[in-house]
Amino acid sequence: MTTHHPIYRGRFAPTPSGPLHLGSLLTAVASYLQARRALGTWNLRLDDLDQQRCSKVHAATIMRQLEQHGLEWDGDVYWQTQHIEMYEAGFSTLQRRTEGYACVCSRARLNTESLEGVDGPIYRGSCRKSTATHYDGAWRIRIQPGQLTLNDPWQGLIRRDLSDDVGDFIVRRADGQIAYQLACVLDEAALGITEVVRGADLIGSTMRQLYLWWHLSDQKAPEYRHIPVLLGADGNKLSKQNHAKSIDQTSPSFNLHQCLELLGQTPPRMLLDATPDELLDWAVANWQPLAIPRLTQLAQAA
């Protein structure tokens, strides 16, 4: 792998529960170009903590898809399942500080009682008075009132009220698995990530993770940039849950060209028949991050 200047550290962190679709490739390309333009490193993290959804087969497919598109990562692949002790230690720190509490709410109760928030359901706080110190099920972090702001170069100034827009969120699931928000923060810190490029559908996760950064790490939190979420022809977000089809692995240059156009870049027509490496060389040299549409959603190109 190529060695780059270590000041900028970016990452791409897919969940290996299926192959990459065009929406996930779009995120990979944007994060790759940000890192390469900054002469930094681009790390591959596989968020395989949920073993019921993830598989080594899907992980191998994702790595092969990235390689076919010329998206070479730096260093070793980072697997979440190899860092469970670190997650447990981070959770224990929150427990010792009594910043969390046991939550026994069923999924049905959550569906009925949760409040509607700008980034999704907000926990009503039914178990907030829990005093349990030892419990093997779900734990929530007790959010302190206040405002949280993020100046996103692509989405503008984002403000959230911690009580009304974020609420107490899960840091350990009912099955004992450390939750995504906590694991992600600990991963970014361990890898020394300086900037996270992700989809705008994860703005709510970003705000929760920024809150955890204040409580768990003495490192500076990464900068965050959110690209528009890519919608399919049916108007729904391209995602595995919506059965988005895998990218055509026989047409990597076409896929890259399409991603660049969706990101507001203008690759010349002479590159329509270029190899993936040639396209990426042009894209790194001509990367215009401010050309990315300031939208939260983006219709897929025909």
Phi-psi region of 125 (alpha: psi -120 to 50; beta: other; left: phi over 0): left
Residues 71 and 209 in one domain: yes
Residues 204 and 220 in one domain: yes
| Structural domain ending residue among the three candidates 121, 142, 172 | 172
Q: Which residue, among 40, 65, 13, 5, has the nearest Cα to 259 in the 3D structure?
A: 65
Residues 78 and 157 in one domain: no
Residue 3 pLDDT exceeds 50: no
Residues 282 and 203 in one domain: yes
Number of Cβ within a 10 Å radius of residue 46: 22
Averaged pLDDT of the chain: 90
| Structural domain ending residue among the three candidates 172, 204, 227 | 172
Residues 78 and 156 in one domain: no
Answer yes or no: is 239 within a domain: yes
Residues 238 and 96 in one domain: no
Angstrom distance (rounded) from CA 98 to CA 141: 9
Answer yes or no: is 180 within a domain: no
Q: What's the whole-number mean pLDDT along residues 235-241?
A: 59
- According to the model, what pLDDT value does residue 86 have? 97
Number of Cβ within a 10 Å radius of residue 199: 23
Cβ contact 59:46 at 8 Å: yes
- According to the model, what pLDDT value does residue 154 have? 94
Cβ contact 283:33 at 8 Å: yes
Residue 4 pLDDT exceeds 50: no
Q: End-to-end distance of the chain based on CA atoms, in angstroms?
A: 35
Cross-strand partners of 157: 151
Cβ contact 259:26 at 8 Å: yes
pLDDT tens per residue across span 104-162: 998 999 988 898 889 999 999 999 987 776 677 899 999 999 999 999 999 999 999 99
Angstrom distance (rounded) from CA 188 to CA 173: 20
pLDDT tens per residue across span 149-186: 999 999 999 999 999 999 999 999 999 999 999 999 99
Domain of residue 167: give its range. 85-172
Q: Which two tokens stand for residue 155?
A: 């989405």
Residues 91 and 231 in one domain: no
Answer yes or no: is 186 within a domain: no
Q: Which two tokens stand for residue 210?
A: 């920024």
Answer yes or no: is 179 within a domain: no
Three-state SS string across the chain, please? CCCCCCCCEEEECCCCCCCCCHHHHHHHHHHHHHHHHCCCEEEEEECCCCCCCCCHHHHHHHHHHHHHCCCCCCCCCEEHHHCHHHHHHHHHHHHHCCCEEEECCCHHHHHHHCEEECCEEECCCCCCCCCCCCCCCEEEECCCCCEEEEEECCCEEEEEEHHHHHCCCEEECCCCCECHHHHHHHHHHHHCCCEEEEEHHHHHHHHHHHHHHHHHCCCCCCEEEEECEEECCCCCECCCCCCCCCCCCCCHHHHHHHHHHHCCCCCCHHHCCCCHHHHHHHHHHCCCHHHCCCCCEEECCC
Angstrom distance (rounded) from CA 84 to CA 177: 9
Residues 153 and 92 in one domain: yes
Answer yes or no: is 229 within a domain: yes
- According to the model, what pLDDT value does residue 217 have? 79
Answer yes or no: is 1 within a domain: no
Residues 75 and 95 in one domain: no
| Structural domain ending residue among the three candidates 172, 203, 222 | 172
Answer yes or no: is 44 within a domain: yes
At 215, which CATH number?
Answer: 3.40.50.620
Cross-strand partners of 120: 117
Residues 52 and 200 in one domain: yes
Angstrom distance (rounded) from CA 117 to CA 121: 5
Q: How many domains does the chain have?
A: 2
Answer yes or no: is 3 within a domain: no
The model carries a pTM of: 0.91
Residues 53 and 201 in one domain: yes
Residues 89 and 48 in one domain: no
